């Protein structure tokens, strides 16, 4: 009996894993302040999309297997304070969110490469590699040694991620919002609010990074000239 109930609840687990994965992705991407002065320690940055990375990203299956806790972009698991899917007889047989329908509607959305629940080792490795790659770029941006092109690529990536997360969450709420539990609906609303806030901050942060780079370049040039003087 318990085994049958567990399998009946599987579609709910898959869809809820997607919700939790989105929440974790938001925490990784957005829960860090942009520096306003001297560079700070380098925080984690989410993986990039296939369009901005040197290698094509592996694509998670349209209907991923249901992990007990959804995977984070770096290959970890959901934090214990985030909501977990119920199991057994507590789980409804059908969850209102249809991931396959969403993927058909938003095929190029970065959610599928960055946040969709997956246990595919190739996808998890790609996410981990991209996280390290963008961490390296972010460290250069913070220290003022990134090229102008790297600064602009970094903030273009951040902009693309937030725009896609807004599009994904908005579509879910438009198509299924009236059938979602309050907790899940709140997570999608939080996703929209956080990413819109991030988008409004990106122009200022990009300009500050470019200014920081220019100041650092001027200091280096002054040092070189000082070294050349007798």
pLDDT tens sequence across 146-177: 999 999 999 999 999 999 999 999 999 999 99
Work out the end-to-end distance of the chain between its first and last CA atoms, rounded to an integer number of angstroms: 88
Angle, vertex CA 200, rays to CA 196 and CA 204, nearest 5? 150
Residue with tokens 């994965």: 21
What SS3 class is residue 129?
helix
Weakest mean pLDDT among 17-21, 87-91, 141-145: 87-91
Output the pLDDT for position 39: 41
pLDDT tens-place string over residues 199-217: 999 999 999 999 999 998 8
Output the pLDDT for position 91: 47
Output the pLDDT for position 105: 96
Distance from C-alpha of 221 to C-alpha of 73, rounded to nearest angstrom: 39
94 pLDDT band, cuts 50/70/90, is confident
For the chain, what is the total number of helices (H) and then of strands (E)? 7, 0
Output the pLDDT for position 136: 95
């Amino acid at each position: 009996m318990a085994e049958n109930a567990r399998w009946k609840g599987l579609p709910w687990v898959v869809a809820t894993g997607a919700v939790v994965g989105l929440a974790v992705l938001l925490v990784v991407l957005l829960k860090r302040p942009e520096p306003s002065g001297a560079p700070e320690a380098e925080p984690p940055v989410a993986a990039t999309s296939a369009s901005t990375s040197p290698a094509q990203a592996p694509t998670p299956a349209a209907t991923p297997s249901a992990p007990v806790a959804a995977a984070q972009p770096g290959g970890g698991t959901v934090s214990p304070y985030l909501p977990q899917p119920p199991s057994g007889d507590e789980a409804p047989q059908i969850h209102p969110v249809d991931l396959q329908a969403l993927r058909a509607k938003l095929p190029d959305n970065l959610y599928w490469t960055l946040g969709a629940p997956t246990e595919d080792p190739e996808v998890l490795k790609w996410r981990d590699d991209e996280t390290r790659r963008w961490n390296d770029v972010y460290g250069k941006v913070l220290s003022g040694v990134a090229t102008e092109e790297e600064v602009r690529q970094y903030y273009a990536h951040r902009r693309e991620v937030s725009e896609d997360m807004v599009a994904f969450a908005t579509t879910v709420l438009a198509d299924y919002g009236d059938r979602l539990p309050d907790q899940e609906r709140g997570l999608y609303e939080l996703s929209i609010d956080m990413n819109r806030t991030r988008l409004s901050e990106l122009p200022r942060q990009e300009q500050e990074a470019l200014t920081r780079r220019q100041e650092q370049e001027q200091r280096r040039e002054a040092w070189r000239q000082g070294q050349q003087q007798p």
